[in-house]
Structure 1
Amino acid sequence: MAKVVIYCTATCPYCLMAKRLFDSKNVEYQSIDIGNDAKKWADLEAKTGRNTVPQVFIGDHHIGGFDDLSAADKRGEIDPLLEA
Structure 2
Amino acid sequence: MDHVDIYYARVCGLCTKALDFFRDRGTTFTAHAVEWDSEKEAFVDSENARGMYQRCGAVVDFVPQMFVGDQHIKGWRELEPMIQSGEIDSLIPKPE
Task: Count residues with an aligned counterpart.
Answer: 83
Identity score, percent: 28
Which of residues 37, 41, 47 in structure 1 aligns to 2:49? 41
| Residue matched to 2:12 | 12
Name whichever of 14-23 and 42-51 sits farther off: 42-51
3-state DSSP of counterpart to 2:11: coil
**Structure 2: stretches of 5+ with no match in the other structure:** 37-43
1:70 aligns with 2:94: no
Give the alignment's Cα RMSD to 1 decimal: 1.9
1:51 aligns with 2:61: yes
Q: CA deviation at 1:46?
A: 5.2
Moved over 6 A (4+): none
1:82 aligns with 2:92: yes
Q: Which has the higher helix share?
A: 1
Normalization by structure 1: what TM-score?
Answer: 0.82
The aligned amino acid for 1:38 is D
Report if the CA contact (8 A) 1:8-1:55 is conserved: yes
Normalization by structure 2: what TM-score?
Answer: 0.73
